[in-house]
Structure 1
Amino acid sequence: MPKMPFTEVLAAVFFSLLLAPAAAEIKTLKISSDARPMILFEKFGFTHTGHVAVTVSGVSVVSSLANPEPSRLGFFLLSEDALLQVLVELQRQNPNFCVLDSSYIKHLFTFRELSPPPHSSFNQSYPVSAPGEYSLFFANCAAESKVTMDVHTEVYNLDDGGVKDYLSAGRTQLPSIFFLFSLCYLAFLSLWIYICLTNKRSVHRIHILMAGLLLMKALNLICAAEDMHYVKVTGTPHGWDVLFYFFQFIRVVLLFTVIVLIGTGWSFLKPFLQEKEKKVLMIVIPLQVLANVASVVIGETGPFIKDWVTWNQVFLLVDIICCCAIIFPIVWSIRSLRETSKTDGKAARNLAKLNLFRQFYMVVIGYLYFTRIVVFALRTIAAYKYQWVSNAAEEIASLAFYMIMFYMFRPVETNEYFALDEEEEEAAEMALRDEEFEL
């Protein structure tokens, strides 16, 4: 029997490490003429009252060789603790080894239990008494065979009252967390509207966009809370996922747009955008559209599709490009302020603006670093029961970033950055000359 392609198996097992538990825990999937040796369906954190139910129908196995052995095709659960041992077994590349023969997996069933072949169905529920995080796989160890089948899966835990909880053990707290943060943003929006109304003369168009950003963030979190709530109690989002992705798209595009516009000094330093700044917006917005499409594909289809890894790579690449692109306008503004501060006779005012944009640059870098790297690290290393911690950390960091950014560029009639006396002006001129000497 030809051995299973180790690189394909390794990719499937590796991405099960990175995969966050799925959002909808009742799924109906269609597998068509699939020859992959392993297919990852989903990942779930079970308590001691966990259950997994798998229904397959319309099963058809086509092979260019002799009739495949039914016991070489089947479903199994793989715990996080057993991943390393299974990878070691696979790396040995024994030509006759099949992952279904491993003693480290939890067997569910093989096609031998289907009756009657070749077109058959099977329905069975299995308890998971050992708590932990498990990945649901389908393995095809039959050489040169393609599988077609309809798969229906349900994974859940039972709470103290015996009611099904379709959210993973580490995510069952998310509806409450998202709803709490949505209230924070609604309160934040109310405060921002009050500040704008009491300082009407200092309100710019950017402040209206910032208010829209807060509204979209609040609506996004409300939809996320409802989405998770319905998944928790019914196993499906009941359409709330559509609203979630809609408001997430608007919110992300608005966030990157606001950062770029503030970074260019639009409405603060100048009422227009230069050509290179317009190009940044023309790059960032289409890329954000692509990133959100990739996010929807990743979130809704799941890892069982053949191009799931590709869509993950697309999402990561686009996100990195956008994060880099929004930094350039801030750097351009800092450079422009440094040059004009030496020529227009208003050293103190320009030094204040220069310091402001330097601080904004550091805040943006810190926000991007935390949400892209630290949050990912938390999600990777946190125990399965505490997966909610990474979501909470991301929302706390986002709220802190919004508060700092909005405070720095708030509308105020007497801006302390520009209310400077003659002594401060002279000190600023000296500071700028020292800076020029250092450069």
Structure 2
Amino acid sequence: MTTMPFKAAVTVAVAVSVLCLLFSPAIAEIKKLQIKNDARSMIMFEKFGFTHTGQVSISVSSVSVTSSLARADGDRLGFFLLSDESFIQVAIELQQNPNLCVLNSKYIQLLFTFRDLSPPPNSTFTKSYPVTSPNEYNLIFANCAPESQVTMDVHTEVYNLDDGGVKDYLSAGLTQIPTIYFLFSLFYIVFLIFWIYTCINNKLSVHRIHLLMAVLLLAKALNLIFAAEDKHYVKITGTPHGWDILFYIFQFIRVVLLFTVIILIGTGWSFLKPFLQEREKKVLMIVIPLQVLANLASVVIGETGPFIKDWGAWNQVFLLVDIICCCAIIFPIVWSIRSLRETSKTDGKAARNLAKLTLFRQFYIVVIGYLYFTRIVVFALKTIAAYKYQWVSNAAEEIASLAFYVVMFYMFRPIERNEYFVIDEEEEREAEMALRDDEFEL
């Protein structure tokens, strides 16, 4: 019964590893896509932050347009760039004139229309375009021909040129990301070494949860290393060269271990009791499968893009599952707080119970703060930050995560006089009064 959390985490990790391997490697900022019989009026391919040396290269082939009406006009199908600032103007423009084709809008940067293609069958077109006005743009395909469907193979490359004329395939606001991830991986490696040292020096106080916490640190460090390699290869070549597979695998292992550790600490597993109650097992059995679904959604979101029809639905699935898991991990901590409050009335160990109660309340606040910052504040930073400073939200998320790990590991470190086991007879009476006051206030 005590090994259940380990077995569950390992089993699911193996399962998701197989799932990740079934996906083809991410093609990042060099994309090769197939569009088949698509009737959408707009297809967004990608979003990219360009500097004054930005370039967009597009190649389309095997193009065919079928229409139930008259033959589609080539001028009403094509590719264009649109900045976020111009989205509102275009929306207003289309609202005022519903018959206007977006390709004729004055707020877009038109790249080419299907009139520029060589005659069918197997129409082809290849051209590169400089981005003269630095900004973050959406690369979009528009189909203004009524009741028509488009089939085509699309190859796109978006990049900026650095001072030496070398292509940088990461968006202008993300080009620092590989360095950020690598630096934080070093922090976690040092953290892991210090944690192992602490455990060795306090062997008598080490519990199984401490070993699981060490595995969590290792998974986090490896996750960041593979994330750094993934983004590095995308930066210099446009593709991750398989590093994305390792990134997704260790991202899943890290997330599952993090949620598992929070739940197990919240229940007092191996600290206060050697086994889990049925309701606590149910929380784990709910959270872990949901994390499988969340990480599957993460893979689909990361490996594809808004050009697939169900991309928005996968984003919604990811957000919903993440919210459910964040709520679920709070319950064991609340249960432990209630249990300690009830125990304090009967076991006559007020000082110990007060210390435990205080510790769990602090842990509850820390977890809530961590979830709030990484889900709300980081999202706000991504929304309000200029496109050149997108890396700030990533750095803020990693700083918050590192702070959370440090606080959590410090609170539940393996030392002989851990607050779980504090018994101070001289303060027993004061503790009893504090517990009674606490009960009265609640």
TM-based fold match above 0.5: yes
Contact 1:206-1:267 within 8 A present in 2 as well: yes
Q: Does 1:178 align with 2:181?
A: yes
Amino acid across the alignment from 2:349? K
- Partner residue, 2:23: none
**Aligned partner of 2:31 among 27, 30, 48:** 27
1:260-307: CA deviation from partner (whole Å, max 9, x where unpaired)? 111111011111100000000000000000000000000001111000
1:382 aligns with one of 385, 389, 392: 385
Tell me the distance in 1 between the aligned counterparts of 2:94 and 2:296. Answer: 34
Per-residue deviation, 1:342? 1.2
Q: Does 1:262 align with 2:277?
A: no
Give the TM-score of the pair, scaled to structure 1.
0.94
The CA distance in 2 between the partners of 1:178 and 1:359, in whole Å, is 29
Q: Which amino acid aligns with 2:283?
A: V
CA distance in 2, matches of 1:276, 1:420: 29
Equivalent residues in 2 for 1:37-436 (5 A)? 37-92=41-96, 94-416=97-419, 418-436=421-439
Deviation at 1:129, TM superposition (A): 1.3
Partner deviation per Cα, 1:2-59 (whole Å, 9 max, x = no partner): xxxxxxxxxxxxxxxxxxxx98110101101000000000000000000000000000
CA contact 1:171–1:387 (8 Å) conserved in 2: yes
Percent identical among aligned pairs is 81
Deviations 1:233-259 (A, max 9, x none): 000000000000000010001000111
Matched position secondary structure for 1:169: coil
Q: In structure 1, what residue type is equivalent to 2:38?
A: D
What is the deviation of 1:117? 2.6
* Structure 1 stretches lacking a partner, 5+ long: 1-21
| Alpha-carbon separation, structure 2, partners of 1:202 and 1:55 | 63
Q: Secondary structure at the match of 1:319?
A: helix
The residue matched to 2:159 in structure 1 has which SS? strand
Does the residue aligned with 1:336 lie in a helix, a strand or coil? helix
Contact 1:23 1:167 in 2 (8 A): no
1:90 CA drift (Å): 2.2
Matched residue, 2:16: none
Aligned letter for 1:202? S
- Please tell me the residue identity of whatever aligns with 2:128: S
Q: Secondary structure at the match of 1:121?
A: strand
Q: Which has the higher contact order (CA 8 A, sep 6+)?
A: 2
Q: Is the 8 A contact 1:61 1:118 kept in 2?
A: no
One-letter amino acid of the structure 2 residue matched with residue 269 of structure 1: L
**Aligned residue identity for 2:104:** D
Q: Deviations over 1:51-76 (max 9, x none)?
A: 00000000010111110101100000
Specify the code of the residue in structure 2 equivalent to 1:277: E
Distance (whole Å) between structure 2 residues aligned to residue 289 and residue 329 of structure 1:
21
In the TM superposition, residue 417 of structure 1 has moved relative to its aligned partner by 5.5
Number of aligned residue pairs: give it: 417
Separation (CA, whole Å) in 1 of partners of 2:417 and 2:297:
45
Aligned to 1:312, the other structure's residue is in SS state: helix
Q: Which amino acid aligns with 1:50?
A: G
User: Residues 46 and 305 of structure 2 are in contact (CA less than 8 Å); yes or no, is this contact kept in structure 1?
Assistant: yes
Is contact 1:170–1:388 with CA below 8 Å preserved after alignment? yes
- The answer (yes or no) to whether the contact 2:267–2:333 under 8 Å persists in 1 is yes
- What is the CA distance between 1:118 and its match in structure 2? 4.6
Q: Distance in 2 between matches of 1:35 and 1:416?
A: 63
Work out the CA distance in 2 between the residues paired with 1:253 and 1:291: 10
* Alignment gaps of 5+ in structure 2: 1-25
Deviations 1:199-226 (A, max 9, x none): 0011111011100000000000000000
Contact 1:37 1:140 in 2 (8 A): yes
Pick closer, same or farther for the CA change 1:215–1:391 going to 2, 3 Å.
same
Cα gap change, 1:172/1:374 in structure 2, threshold over 3 Å: closer, same or farther? same
In 1, the alpha carbon distance for the partners of 2:392 and 2:345 equals 48
SS in 1 for 2:47: strand
Provide the C-alpha distance between the structure 2 equivalents of 1:226 and 1:95, rounded to a whole number of angstroms: 47
Q: 1:280 to 1:416 in 2, by over 3 A?
A: closer
SS at match of 2:123: coil
Q: Distance in 1 between matches of 2:227 and 2:255?
A: 14
Q: Which amino acid aligns with 1:197?
A: I
User: Helix, strand or coil for the counterpart of 1:30?
Assistant: strand
Paired with 1:395 and 1:345, the residues of 2 have a C-alpha distance of 43
C-alpha distance in 1, partners of 2:184/2:94? Answer: 44
Once the two structures are superposed, residues 363-417 of structure 1 have per-residue CA deviations (whole angstroms, 9 ceiling, x without a partner) of 0000000000000000011000000000000000000000000000010012256
Is the 8 Å Cα contact of residues 23 and 228 (structure 1) preserved in structure 2?
no
CA offset at residue 91 of structure 1?
2.3
